Structure 1
Amino acid sequence: MGKICILTKKKANNGFSVSHSHARTKKRQDVNLQSKKVWSYTQKAWTKMKISTKAIKTLHKLKL
């Protein structure tokens, strides 16, 4: 399984590292994924998910 958030479908982004001399080298910006146990109301059980920190903040905000 790749580095993709299950809830928000976020994935890695391509970008540039820019040095002091303004030389650009390609880099990859990965998503900040965390393992989290989330209560599932449909299954009535805890499920372990890899979700982004933005999704964790949204879950706390909505209190799901």
Structure 2
Amino acid sequence: MGNCMLCAQIGVEPEFDQSAAYVEGWLEAMKEDSRAIFRAASEAQKAVDYIMDRTAQFERMAAE
């Protein structure tokens, strides 16, 4: 999920080599906990934000 979010932000098309297994896994997880995907999306966004922030920091340092 984070991969897709990050790819969208940087303009890269993600690859879905194992998309069927991925979707199947989420369907199973959501049967057990309907809010699981929302927690996962929140954590994925936090990771993407961290990566983007660190990238911006490195770019600023390189420009100095």
Q: Is TM more than 0.5 here?
A: no
Q: Which has the higher contact order (CA 8 A, sep 6+)?
A: 2
TM-score, length of structure 1 as denominator length: 0.31
TM-score, length of structure 2 as denominator length: 0.31
User: Larger Cα Rg: Structure 1 or Structure 2?
Assistant: 1
* Bigger share in helix: 2
